[in-house]
Amino acid sequence: MESRHPATLAAQALGWIDPSTKALIPPVHPSTTFIRDPDNQYRSGFSYGRPMNPTFVQPEALLMKLEGGAACLTFASGMAAATAVFLALRPGDHVVAPQVMYWGLRNWLKNFAAEWGLIVDFVDASAADALKTAVEPGRTKLIWIESPANPTWAITDIAAAAEIAHRAGARLAIDSTVATPMLTRPIELGADIVMHSATKYLNGHSDVVAGALVAARHDEFWERIAAIRTSNGAILGSFEAWLLLRGMRTLHLRLERCCGTAQAIAEHFVGHRRIAAVLYPGLPDCPGHAVAARQMHGGFGGMLSIRVAGGESAAIATAARVTVWKRATSLGGVESLIEHRASIEGPGSPAPPDLLRLSVGIEDAADLIGDLEQALAGVG
Ligand SMILES: Cc1ncc(COP(=O)(O)O)c(C=O)c1O
């Protein structure tokens, strides 16, 4: 499977076949403990359910391969995966993070990480100059970016950020949840660690909370992250790991559909009299379009936002009137979701009050566009 297309790797989950039964689909391993050999060794590689479970092996191997990495670990959630990276740093280490990023992680960095001793500066990561100014060679240990970034879909130039990080002696980690390895392979662009909320596109069916990290190298920092997973115990359940692998088998098909429909919706609503702005990196006028076109392949993602003319009340009223779109948080599932982002993020959110975030699923594009049209028309 060395040189196969990502679609083939995903659909066949690397072509794994159970050696004893010849089953094409791996089993769920609920066992929390494993037999020790008579000579006191654990040759199977498995001893207890918290360090490792056989059901993690295939989803981790597949994601590692799709990302072109050297190692992968799944976690109990995207937040568990992301925070493991920061916990692997030392108190006093300097971190540069984006102003526009997943709000839950931004809050964790502002509150917990700062109290624990990390020094975190938030900058406009879509401007390479801002990143360059913020890093302090020798003191900065990590640049964290997210591209496209929640909820404006701002784009960060991954290769430029990697160069800035490495020149300063720091690592580059990226939340690539929205792009997925089907659209962007950050390790090829110089990233050291790729993070996913696997709750989103990787699983894709809104029925698993999961996270993952992929490393460019199996080094001492990665060992620390692995030790944090084992000792903090933020591991996936075995059934969730099994579902995650099943979801990943159709990642390429879902992404292709989501990207095509998101592009169609974005183009349809540009210049619409009830829409103040459409935020989508696939639109030539979006500020990050040129960089996105360079580092995203096969589409610009299934996430976009619209700013509703008439402000916050018009945006909330529009979301109230949809029937095909579902009013719910999260993203990356097969069903399309709509959300008034400032309401969930609360004070300090960079989300404009008139912004509705759209997670485009795999439904019929005309149904989705028609539903938004009738909701906007009804608001008046
Ligand atoms: C881009 C992004 N990163 C990280 C997370 C956190 O992931 P989880 O909810 O799986 O912990 C989310 C969740 O919404 C997200 O959208």
d(CA 165, CA 264): 36
Query: What is the Cα 127 distance to its own chain's centre?
Result: 21
Compute the distance from residue 44 Cα to the ligand 1 centre, in Å: 33
Q: Which of 175, 192, 354, 371 is catalytic?
A: 175
d(CA 106, CA 70): 28
| Cα→Cα distances 184→10, 279, 301, Å | 15, 19, 10
Q: What is the mean pLDDT of residues 258-275?
A: 98
Q: Is the CB of 265 under 6 A from ligand 1?
A: no
Q: Is the CB of 104 under 6 A from ligand 1?
A: yes
Task: Tell me: cis bond preceding 6? Omega within 30 of 0 counts.
Answer: no
pLDDT higher than 70, residue 242: yes
Compute the distance from residue 228 Cα to the ligand 1 centre, in Å: 19
pLDDT higher than 90, residue 194: yes
**Would you state the pLDDT for residue 348?**
81
Q: Which of 171, 200, 307, 341 is catalytic?
A: 200
Element (H, E) at 5: none
Q: What is the mean pLDDT of residues 244-255?
A: 98
Q: Which tens digit of pLDDT belongs to each residue from 215-234?
A: 999 999 999 999 999 999 99
Q: What is the mean pLDDT of residues 73-92?
A: 98
Share of the chain above pLDDT 90, in %: 97
Q: Is the CB of 78 under 6 A from ligand 1?
A: yes
Torsion sign over Cα 28, 31, 33, 35: negative
Q: If pLDDT is split at 50, 70 and 90, which confidence band does 1 have?
A: low
Which among 62, 55, 2, 50 is positioned nearest to 26, based on CA atoms?
55
CB 95 within 8 A of CB 89: yes
Q: Residue 326 catalytic?
A: no
**Would you state the pLDDT for residue 86?**
98
CA angle 128, 145, 197 (to 5 degrees): 160
DSSP secondary structure code for residue 137 in this structure: T
Ligand 1 atom closest to 149 (CA): 1
**Would you state the pLDDT for residue 362?**
98
CA dihedral angle for residue 59, residue 334, residue 148, residue 13, rounded to 10 degrees? 20
Q: In what order do the strands lie in the sheet containing 171-175?
A: 71-75, 211-215, 193-197, 171-175, 140-146, 94-98, 119-123
d(CA 191, CA 102): 19
d(CA 125, CA 146): 9
Q: If pLDDT is split at 50, 70 and 90, which confidence band does 188 have?
A: very high
| Cα→Cα distances 233→173, 226, 296, Å | 22, 10, 34
Q: Residue 110 catalytic?
A: no
- Residue that the structure tokens 């399309």 belong to: 336
Ligand 1 atom closest to 146 (CA): 1
d(CA 157, CA 298): 17
Q: Is the CB of 263 under 6 A from ligand 1?
A: no
Packing angle, helices 54-67 and 238-248, rounded to 10: 30
Q: Which of 65, 93, 102, 371 is catalytic?
A: 102
Q: Which tens digit of pLDDT belongs to each residue from 143-184?
A: 999 999 999 999 999 999 999 999 999 999 999 999 999 999
CA angle 52, 55, 59 (to 5 degrees): 100
Which residue type is seen at 87?
L
pTM: 0.98
Which residue of 147, 174, 184, 199 sits with most ligand 1 atoms within 8 Å of its CB, as the best mutation to test the pocket?
199
**Would you state the pLDDT for residue 276?**
98
Q: Which tens digit of pLDDT belongs to each residue from 15-64?
A: 999 999 999 999 999 999 999 999 999 999 999 999 999 999 999 999 99
pLDDT higher than 70, residue 2: no
Ligand 1 atom closest to 82 (CA): 4
Query: What is the Cα 118 distance to its own chain's centre?
Result: 23
CB 287 within 8 A of CB 328: no
Share of the chain above pLDDT 70, in %: 99
Q: Residue 175 catalytic?
A: yes
Q: Is the CB of 77 under 6 A from ligand 1?
A: yes
For the chain, give the mean pLDDT. 97
Q: Which tens digit of pLDDT belongs to each residue from 277-336?
A: 999 999 999 999 999 999 999 999 999 999 999 999 999 999 999 999 999 999 999 999
Q: Residue 50 catalytic?
A: yes
Least confident of 100-104, 137-141, 243-247, 376-380: 376-380
